[in-house]
Amino acid sequence: MNTEKIWNEWSDAETFSGVFSIRRDQEVIFEKSCGYRNRSESLLNNSDTAFSIASGTKLFTGLAICKLIDDGKLSLNDKLCDILNNDLGEIDKRVTIYHLLTHTSGVGDYIDEEAEDSMEQLQALYNKYPVYLWERLEYYLPMITILPPKFEPGARYGYSNAGFVLLGLVVEAISGIPYQQFVTDNIIKPCELKHTGYYRMDSLPENTAHGYMQDDETGQWRTNIFNLPVIGGSDGGLYTCAEDLQKVWQAIFTNAILSEEMTQEFLKPQILMDNDDQEESYGLGVYIHKSDNISFYYAVGGDYGVDFFTAYFPKQKIVASALGNTELNTFPLLKAVVATLIIE
């Protein structure tokens, strides 16, 4: 696999800040660390640096819910209204765990990424609800329950941050512990992930990258601490590193997190993301690409000062990940990996 060519032909390689990693089993095939995890102190990113992965967190939330199903404490057909004691307001009473996991719930979204002005809406939301108060998932509910449904449950795929916030609340209701603690106890610790966690943005541990945004007019860099919740929740905000992502994919595909039966259900295409595209689908917390040429599973994330993808190619047993701490789009790297593997 010509990994050097993938990197050298990427047009944004010189301005990338983060880690690009390609691994097979325990072997590092290619790894490139660039930029700074802390610009003011001139501290460089390195192979062990942890980065926020934004919506890549949904992979972990999907696993957490499936773990509860595996343990017989929950089922895909359970209705949200039968689990949560909270006032769910405008949320359709027919919404099930399956709908939430597959982005088919139609729940009104507090961050509606299908809207053209989604970033403007998000900034207005942060102005009303200061990010330093976003410490518990219950804090999100007033932003969600007042919104009318976007469509009837099961009608179509519609990416939903709110749906995964609700899944986090389900984890807490069933387990009796905070969502973050459940993921830590049932995924992070058993998989021996060395630098993965829901870190407070105002108290980051050693060798963890600050997210950075650049002012369009002045060119000045500033951190994203005032633009994201102070601690990650079930729809985004987990921190992790390249080696830990390799461990997670390995644990998934060796049934170390879920039973073999539940793993197959987690990875099975459940809903087409676009009715005109038969290759892209969604499982129970993971994106799936299946075509005649290549198949792989992936998670992606992007936010203020964050850009992320991780993908697993089961035939080649390769994990490709890009963890960035600016808003530079790294998805072309994934496309290049895919193209290279197809040729080979």
CB neighbourhood size of 252 (10 A): 21
HSE-up (13 A, CA, CB side) for residue 80: 29
Query: 176 by DSSP, 3-state: which?
Result: coil
Instruction: Write down the pLDDT at residue 70.
Output: 98
Q: Is the pLDDT of residue 275 over 80?
A: no
* C-alpha–C-alpha distance, residues 257 and 253, integer Å: 9
Buried-exposed string 263-297: b where 16+ CB fall within 10 A, e elsewhere: bebbbebbbebeeeeebbbbbbbbbbbeeeebebb
Q: Is the pLDDT of residue 182 over 90?
A: yes
**What is the DSSP secondary structure assignment for residue 155, as one 8-state letter?**
S
Q: Which of 122-136, 200-214, 293-307 has the lowest mean pLDDT?
A: 122-136
Query: 231 by DSSP, 3-state: which?
Result: coil
Domain 3-343 sits in CATH at 3.40.710.10
Q: Is the pLDDT of residue 121 over 90?
A: no
Looking at residue 304, its amino acid is Y
